[in-house]
Chain A
Amino acid sequence: MALALENVSKHFGSLVAIRNLSLSFDVGSIYSIIGPNGAGKSTVVNMIAGSYSVTSGAIRLGATALNRLPKHRIAQLGVSRTYQNLRLFDGMTVLENLEVCFFPQSWLTFLTGAKRLSKAERLEICHACLAEFHLSDVADVLAGDLPYGRQKILELARAFVTQAPIVLLDEPAAGLNHTETKDMAAMIAGLKREDRAIILVEHDMEMVMSISDRIDVLNYGELLCSGTPDLVRTNERVQEAYLGTTEELDDIRKLAQSRRAQGGLRANAGIVRH
């Protein structure tokens, strides 16, 4: 199964957020969408998930056009997601946060019970998922009471629990410290499977470079470059988009070096985090 964006554009009033973007995501890989702030990364995620309408073009999952469907239909077809700012059900327990994902998807299954998981099956899957994400010890804790790092992991678990073939992760490392980010990267890398495409929007370059099979760089709503981490790392246009022209880049490098000499800024592929 493949997810494809075909000549997709998105306008907010007179602002063109995405211009003629075509991308394709196949199961079995981890993809990262990167770009400077305002490049349109989150817009892409929100369009795929159905939160934003598409101005022109089409988004297809296999043969099905997603961009005309309501949000919950898109999710039912197998697109799950996390959010840029955590959106858990704070007043419900960790286990319940996962259980909700198994709500019967149509009136028919709800009433007849056909294709519907029994309570025992549901709980078994959820507990297995909690174990996989090291959350078993807090199964009965209210999600809102968890520390931030574990809340992020719970949101990740919620996106994966239904075995959706397309998983969109909107800044999974945002707000995490260095160690937590590394753990998160390892966790996401371990979730790669033959029948699943993971699409990541992320600012943390270390994470992106270490786990992605392909990186798509957006700038001003257009695809700047697309390829393996090594290819993107060395691409001049990418560096320009992130850091400006070469002269500006030199200035910033000097500044970074002086800071590094003072032991301040962390050295990182020459790319500065916001």
Chain B
Amino acid sequence: MGNSVIVRRLGLLAVLALCVVLLALVPHLPSYYVRVVDSILIYIILAVGLNLVVGYAGLLDLGFIAFYAVGAYAYALLASGQFDIHLPFIVILFIGAAAGAIAGVLLGFPVLKLRGDYLAIVTLSFGEIIRIAINNADDLTNGPQGIAGLDRASLFGLPLTTPVHFYWLLLVLAITVCGGVYYMERSILGKAWRALREDQDVVRGLGINTTTLKLLAFALSAAIGGAGGVIFGAFQRFVSPESFTFQESLLVVLIIIIGGVGNIVGVIAGAVVLVVLPEVLHFAAQYRLLIYGVVLVTVIVLRPGGLVSPRFNLGFIIRKVRTLWLSPSKT
């Protein structure tokens, strides 16, 4: 074992340590920055969830935010004075995920035989229907005013109130979701999804029920969306329909495309860029959106395949780290 091996291992450790230190430092930042990081983490969770459907199974879902809304309103209805129900956060987290999954299956079942853009527009319509319904079902949801004063959440006796609390919760959840999706991507299920994206008729010809396969992708992604919504509700302690517009659905799709479709590392990069960019552009005042749009178009024209190359994915990083650690001479 030569000197260079030790240097490389130390370098690797240093990089890992840097990552951990950076993540550990976040809570010590001013509250505004912690909120931005929280927001990034929420969008990472949402985008990784939607990526199951768009990136792996190849189905364009433009109504994803509806599932997020279902989760958020689950928290709003079950942990507030609205009906004077006060369930614990962790229970609602599961209820929200389940409600999202059920909504996903209910939407998916009739429409999944549609192809491409027809599926896209139906999911879009579904998202709008949910939003308009929330907006108008005054008795249940308070309509456009929304529901305020949601319960302060707590988890296993620990309070969940400040952005820092949510930072830790979201970090754990984001890592769990990324890890889970990465595992699925490598399993036979992930392979079947990718095959579905390539040629769904042939997949059926191999004896695979494509409707179930699509439903599964839809339900899982909707469950992740629902869980994300519950956390959003607990974090904001206020929900209203205007948080769940078509533009929000598009933002999540944008994160996936701008990062690199079907690539978890890409999704993380996309979420960072698209959440941080508007914050950075605050100085531009009323020109903010204009610059945002111009940057968006420029980025996509210059890097149409996404910011992160498809080769640079989680599997690549894991392999790299492993070979560097186990047999550094090979690298």
**What is the interface of chain A, defined by CB distance below 8 A to chain B?**
49, 51, 70-73, 75-76, 80-81, 83, 87, 89-92, 96, 99-107, 119, 122, 158, 162
22 A/B residue pairs, CB under 8 Å, sorted by A: A70-B209, A71-B204, A72-B204, A72-B210, A75-B205, A83-B202, A87-B202, A89-B194, A89-B198, A89-B202, A90-B198, A91-B198, A100-B188, A100-B191, A100-B208, A103-B188, A103-B189, A103-B191, A103-B208, A104-B188, A122-B188, A158-B206
User: Which chain B residues (166-212) contact chain A, with CB distance < 8 Å?
Assistant: 188-189, 191-192, 194-195, 197-199, 201-210, 212
Task: Report the separation of the CA atoms of residues A99 and B189 in the bound assembly, to the nearest whole angstrom.
Answer: 10
Q: How far is the CB of A50 from chain B (nearest CB, A)?
A: 8
A100 contact from B201, B206, B209, Cβ within 8 A? B206
Contact of A72 with B209 in the complex, beta carbons under 8 Å = yes
Q: Is the CB of A71 within 8 A of B198?
A: no
User: Is the pair A72, B208 in contact by a Cβ cutoff of 8 Å?
Assistant: yes
**Inside 8 A of A104's CB, which chain B residues have their CB?**
188
User: Are A96 and B206 closer than 8 Å at their CB atoms?
Assistant: no
Partner of A96, one of B191, B207, B208, B212: B191
Q: Is the interface of B mostly helix, strand, loop or mixed?
A: helix
Known: A90-B198, A122-B188. A107 touches B212 (CB 8 A): yes
B218 shortest CB reach to chain A, Å: 15
Do A71 and B205 contact each other (CB < 8 Å), given the known contacts A99-B188, A103-B188, A122-B188? yes
Q: How far is the CA of A89 from the CA of B195 in the complex (A)?
A: 6
The residues of B that contact A158 with a CB separation of less than 8 Å are: 206
How far, in Å, is A232 (CB) from chain B's closest CB?
29
How would residues 209 to 247 of chain B score, 1 for a CB under 8 Å from any chain A CB and 0 otherwise? 110100000000000000000000000000000000000
Q: How far is the CA of A80 from the CA of B202 in the complex (A)?
A: 10
Residue of A nearest to B189 (CB): A103
- Where the two chains meet, the residues of B that have a C-beta atom closer than 8 Å to any C-beta of A are 188-189, 191-192, 194-195, 197-199, 201-210, 212
Say how far B329's CB is from chain A's closest CB, in angstroms.
Answer: 22
- Expressed in whole angstroms, the minimum distance between the Cβ of B146 and any Cβ of chain A is 39
Q: A72-B208, A76-B207, A100-B206 are in contact. Are A92 and B188 (CB under 8 A)?
A: no
Q: When the two chains form their complex, are residues A103 and B199 in contact, meaning their CB atoms are under 8 A apart?
A: no
Q: A residues within 8 A CB of B208?
A: 72, 75, 100, 103, 105
Q: Which residues of A contact B209 (CB under 8 A)?
A: 70, 72, 105-106
Instruction: Write the chain B residue with the least CB distance to A99.
Output: B191
* Centre residue among A49, A70, A101 by max chain B CB count within 10 A: A101
B287–chain A nearest beta-carbon distance, Å: 41
**B205 and A100 contacting across the interface, CB-CB below 8 Å:** no
For residue A122, give the distance in angstroms from its CB to the closest CB of chain B.
Answer: 7
Q: Which 7 A-B pairs have the closest CB atoms?
A: A75-B207, A76-B207, A89-B198, A103-B192, A71-B204, A100-B195, A72-B204
CA distance A107 to B211 in the complex (A): 12
Known contacts A70-B209, A72-B210, A96-B194; 10 further A-B pairs (Cβ under 8 A): A49-B205, A51-B201, A71-B204, A72-B205, A75-B204, A75-B207, A76-B207, A87-B201, A91-B197, A103-B188
**Among candidates A80, A100, A122, A162, residue contacting B192 with C-beta atoms closer than 8 Å:** A100
CB of A185, distance to nearest CB on chain B (Å)? 24
- Provide the residues of chain A in CB contact with B205, threshold 8 Å: 49, 51, 71-72, 75, 80-81
Contacts of A91 in B (CB 8 A): 194, 197-198
Most buried by B among A90, A96, A100: A100
Find the A residue at minimum CB distance from B208: A103
CB pair B204 A92 closer than 8 Å: no
Q: Which B residues touch A105, using CB under 8 A?
A: 207-209
Residues of B within 8 A of A87 (CB): 199, 201-202
Q: Hey, which chain A residues are within 8 Å of B201, CB to CB?
A: 51, 87
Q: Which of B199, B202, B210 has the most CB atoms of chain A within a 10 A radius of its CB? A: B202
Residues of A within 8 A of B204 (CB): 70-72, 75
CB distance from A80 to the nearest CB of B (A): 8
A265 to B137, CA, bound (A): 77
B194 and chain A: residue at smallest CB distance:
A92
Interface-centre pick from A72, A83, A99 (highest chain B CB count, 10 A): A72
Contacts of B189 in A (CB 8 A): 103
How far does the alpha carbon of A105 sit from the alpha carbon of B213 in the complex, in Å?
A: 11
**Residues on the A chain within 8 Å of B191, using CB:** 92, 96, 99-100, 103
Q: Which residues of A contact B203 (CB under 8 A)?
A: 100
Closest to B213 in A: A103
Q: Which residues of B contact A90 (CB under 8 A)?
A: 198
| Cα-based distance from A187 to B260 in the complex (angstroms) | 41
**Least distance between B319 CB and chain A CB atoms (Å):** 13
Chain A residue at minimal CB-CB distance from B186: A119
* Chain B residues in 8 Å Cβ range of A81: 205
